[in-house]
Structure 1
Amino acid sequence: MELDLRDKVAVVTGATANIGRAVSLDFAREGAKVVLVGRDEEAGARLVADCTDAGACGAVFVAADVLDPASPTRVLEAADTLGSIDILVNNIGGNVDQGFFVDSDPDKWMADIDINFGTVLRMTHAVLPGMIERKSGAIVNVGSTAAIVGDYMLPVYSAAKGAVHSFTVVLAKEVGQHGVRVNAIAPYATISTDPAAFSKGSRFHPDSGLFSKGAASVREEDRAIRQRRTFVGKPFASPEEMSGMVLFLASTRASFITGQVYPIDGGALL
């Protein structure tokens, strides 16, 4: 399928790991110009090289933490070297902690909200004026199935991803008149087996210990409640199984689609 993405300028946040990395490489294979945003400069340099080898018409890495309100300006400055931004993929997300809400630390609530929702607001707010002026653009947000069903022991993360979904819908209503489309995907558990997909800033990096620490505190009863099954022969998705939908939604082949949230869950929500 021809997606007409050659020479399009696509900004991908959280680009150096997992879903973001797969999306970046797929844009590169389509001949897009990619602006890769992440915190791990070593992983960023590798990704620029990989995108160039894959066929990107241009690739630049921006070492930026989008939790910093000043970082979107730096991203826009880097993007200007490649051209006007056609596509924004808001991919940054993660959970700072896990456990029951009653036991949660209020000092950590805003961290979960900011990494999952605040980053979306910041980057979108920075990119939108240019898209509106040009009467063209596509935004794809990465939400989560947690926003649809509420992931057990991830209350604030689930709520923040729910905000991403709601924002996707209302923004599509606001900017459709300006030729800008806004959609989202809602991934189920997505884990890469490629060591290159684990940047130092990723919660999936083995050194983070986030998942091992959480697993040690889960009782069997809680594990049973959290358990879901897929119907595609494997328990987890790969990043490449998410990136295809992101590219489609960003492309002209999806020009009549806006304000939608697409679960990619292997049937886990059935």
Structure 2
Amino acid sequence: MATRAKSKDDKNTGRVLITGASAGIGAELAREFARHGHRLTLVARRREALAALAAELKKDHQADVQIVAQDLAKPGGPAAVLKAAQAGGEPVAILVNNAGVIDVGPFADADTAKITGLIDLNVRASTELISRLLPGMVERGAGRILNVSSLSAFQPVPTMAAYAASKAYVLSLTEALSEELRGTGVKVTALCPGFTETPMIGEIQAGSAAVRGMPKQLLSTPRDVAALGYRALMAGQVVAVPGLPNQITAAWAQVTPRWVTRYVAGFAARRGG
């Protein structure tokens, strides 16, 4: 464990690296950081979408924006992103691990390549980015990491088994690191949104009748989720769950016996499948 170091203003000591920044929560996080004057490096597979977002942020907020088109699920993807992000000699002061994919449906019917790709992106890539950046943050005595997890991290979710398990990993890693890093000046936050109006919700609705019938009032907006995530990160909050219904669900899952949460989740999946 490093010794306590003097904390610094993250805006003035490096860039904000945001993965999965081309749409949804990632794009809104980019807008939120730009509004607060941070210098940005935005990462996603779709260069055209990144370029359009960068142009918007430069116009609306005079933001300093760098874009990196890269598939983080591929071997060498995270290392290539960091090489590009730090090519100018400026360190990454804030890492936002937002990139992720989902698979909906019975696990036995899932394509193996799709499942392993999900693990590569949701688990391996985010872990590698943290592992590569964290030593420098600790050495500088300043840094922040925002890991976008999910409400599904708090319980098993039949028909989204691998996705929920990957987000449980992200939440557990965040909580463990938050304790390891006490006194170092580095803060780690897990943002755990519930169902949100993003392109991913379409995949979930296609595979679940229960979600298709969900009242729109129970869906969070990406902008609200991003705003809460930014505030939680800057406040050093370890776990942030947007929305009162989601907070109640997370609290219920933590105090209820696991066999009960399993049964309730399985019953809902069977009724809504």
TM-score, scaled relative to structure 1:
0.78
Q: C-alpha offsets along residues 61-116 of structure 1, whole Å, 9 cap, x if unaligned?
A: 00111112322233223333372211111001121x32123444445432222221
Tell me the equivalent position of 1:32: 38
SS, match of residue 88 in structure 1: strand
The 2-side partners of 1:5 and 1:170 are apart by 22
Corresponding residue to 2:79 among 59, 73, 76: 73
Tell me the equivalent position of 1:185: 191
TM-score, scaled relative to structure 2:
0.77
1:91-110 matches, within 5 Å, as: 91-95=98-102, 97-110=103-116
**1:50 deviation in Å?**
1.2
1:56-135 matches, within 5 Å, as: 56-80=62-86, 81=88, 83-95=90-102, 97-135=103-141
The 1-side partners of 2:137 and 2:203 are apart by 37
Corresponding residue to 1:20 among 17, 26, 38: 26
SS, match of residue 264 in structure 1: coil
Corresponding residue to 1:261 among 239, 255, 259: 239
Amino acid at match of 1:237: S
The 1-side partners of 2:15 and 2:114 are apart by 35
Corresponding residue to 1:246 among 223, 229, 236: 229
Amino acid at match of 1:164: V
The 2-side partners of 1:23 and 1:166 are apart by 22
**1:150 deviation in Å?**
3.0
SS, match of residue 176 in structure 1: coil
SS, match of residue 190 in structure 1: coil
Tell me the equivalent position of 1:197: none
Give the structure with the higher percent helix: 2
Instruction: Structure 1 unaligned segments of length 5 or more: list them.
Output: 193-201
How many residues of Structure 1 are paired with residues of Structure 2 in the alignment?
Answer: 238
SS, match of residue 182 in structure 1: strand
Tell me the equivalent position of 2:263: none
The 2-side partners of 1:30 and 1:106 are apart by 42
Instruction: Structure 2 unaligned segments of length 5 or more: list them.
Output: 1-8, 250-273
Q: C-alpha offsets along residues 153-209 of structure 1, whole Å, 9 cap, x if unaligned?
A: 1011111110000010112222334321111010111114xxxxxxxxx656xxxx8
1:147-226 matches, within 5 Å, as: 147-192=153-198, 203=200, 210-211=203-204, 214-215=206-207, 218=208, 223-224=209-210
Q: Check the 8 A contact 1:171/1:182 in 2, yes or no.
A: yes
SS, match of residue 218 in structure 2: coil
> In 2 relative to 1, CA 69–234 (structure 1 residues): closer, same or farther, beyond 3 Å?
same
Tell me the equivalent position of 2:260: none
Amino acid at match of 2:178: A
> In 2 relative to 1, CA 183–70 (structure 1 residues): closer, same or farther, beyond 3 Å?
same
Q: Check the 8 A contact 1:33/1:82 in 2, yes or no.
A: no
Q: Check the 8 A contact 2:18/2:43 in 1, yes or no.
A: yes
Identity score, percent: 31
